[in-house]
Amino acid sequence: MYSPPPAPPLTPFATRRRAYLSGARTPREDMEATIERVLAREATLHAFAFLDVEACRRAADASTERYRAGRPRGVLDGCPVGIKDIIETRDMPTGCGNAAFAGRMTGRDAACVTALREAGAIPFGKTVTTEFAIGGPGPTVNAHDTERTPGGSSSGSGAVVGAGLLPLALGTQTQGSVLRPASYNGCFGYKGTLGALPTGGVHPLSVTHDHLGLLANSLDELWAAASAIAAIGSPGHPRLAGAADSAPAPAKPRRLIRLTLKGWDEVSVAHREIFNAQCRALAARGVEFIGREDSEEVRALESYLDAHVDGSLDMVTYDMRFPYRDYVEQHGEAIGPRIHGLIARGRDMTALDYEELRLKQSIARRLTTRTLTALDADAFVLPAASGPAPKGHALTGSRTYLAYWSWLGFPSFSLPLMAADGLPWGLQLAGTAQMDARLCALARWVCGEVPS
């Protein structure tokens, strides 16, 4: 097993930006350091589907000139960002993790990439995705143990941030594809309220489940990027509540609802104790916890979620019939077996079947919101995955603990607060619709930050 040496802590981009503003350092100087870090690790990490370091240098030069002229575009000007390879970029191919699409140039930027460029951020390269963000894994390995999965589908994004190579990367989540890589690679992950961040130009899977998300080495950078992206607008959806250049001030939760759900059966006895110890540590700081052992409302919520969450994947298979049925017919075995299986699973589903699944999803949303309100709680807490990254690369890990909040379309964070077997393991903090900013404030406090 090759275990890379611990990466030196990556200087927060806010700190680097202050040096740019003072003239003590330039985006180009930091870009050279970033390129050096990436090239030194990429031969073993395999996190990038496409790199153009000269384009990065040119963009960093332009950012440097804006700072020298006293006209930076915003708090992200000069920040390198990894772009998941299902997200369109006008100057880089978008291969979607499939050989039949390798080298495909669309000539367009996705809405999120447009927003980041307008904010002065620098798309650093395309990060590896599993096939179409739902199929077989790519070559990326875990940032902390090369024998383990980085998680998926935002595999490359999780690895480059977890390895301390980039401060920020874009991901997407339809089932577990942002929070699982964040948990396994030891960085912050955020999946917003469905539609809060625009998905225009992101290769679609499921209109009812696709979320744009972010992986970052700090909540400040994460929230600044989410806000910049949200500013471009997300047609058909409410704006991101609380969007701002800086993250909301830390806020102490009074009461959290502790969920175990059927994913608890996947958690080993030793790992359960690690999660329980994390909850006890928060309780020692004055947070009250309510769980299924304390509340009929929590038991009823867990029972309903567990009974119906598997319909989430059925909804996805119905949503993805087009264009994926056409892909299967056109490209045959060039499309992986998981995609073939998902198309077959959704082929016989009727519109009535689908409406029944949507009704159950709607009931789950109402019940989750009502439970949070009835118990006068601030948020839900649960593991971000069933444990640390498992060994092997054929699979990307269990999605059980991630599927619930993707199905609900509610915001959630993976916080790098736990460790098991010497590997990172995320704590999931989850809320209800439009709670994104409030949840970020709670996350900051949970992570040990205090109001200034």
- Using CA atoms, how far residue 374 sits from 176, 296, 298, 368, 411, in Å, is 28, 11, 10, 10, 19
Strand pairing report for 188-191 and 423-430:
unpaired
Is 246 designated active site?
no
Is 398 designated active site?
no
The one catalytic residue among 84, 126, 191, 360 = 84
Question: What count of residues does the chain have?
Answer: 452
Q: Rounded to whole angstroms, how far apart are CA atoms 196 and 189? A: 15
DSSP letter at 234?
A: -
What is the CA 291 to chain-centroid distance, rounded? 26
Q: Rounded to whole angstroms, how far apart are CA atoms 358 and 361? A: 5
- As to burial, measured by CB atoms within 10 angstroms (0-12 exposed, 13-18 middle, 19+ buried), residue 187 is buried
The one catalytic residue among 63, 126, 153, 295 = 153
| Whether the Cβ atoms of residue 354 and residue 318 lie closer than 8 Å to each other | yes
Strand pairing report for 122-127 and 188-191:
unpaired
The answer for 127, left when phi > 0, alpha when psi is -120 to 50, beta otherwise, is beta
User: Peptide bond before 22: cis, by omega within 30 degrees of 0?
Assistant: no
Number of alpha helices (DSSP H) and beta strands (DSSP E) in the chain: 15, 11
| Whether the Cβ atoms of residue 60 and residue 27 lie closer than 8 Å to each other | yes
The one catalytic residue among 63, 155, 157, 177 = 177
Three-state helix/strand/coil letters over 368-423: HHHHHHHCCCCEEEEECCCCCCCECCCCCCCCHHHHHHHHHCCCEEEEEEEEECCE
What is the CA 325 to chain-centroid distance, rounded? 27
Strand pairing report for 168-173 and 188-191:
unpaired
Is 84 designated active site?
yes
- Using CA atoms, how far residue 116 sits from 36, 82, 110, 119, 231, in Å, is 23, 11, 10, 5, 10
Order across the sheet with 80-84: list the strands.
Answer: 48-51, 122-127, 80-84, 168-173, 211-216, 188-191, 412-420, 423-430, 379-383, 255-258, 288-290
Element (H or E) spanning 169, and its range? strand 168-173
- The set of catalytic residues is 84, 153, 177
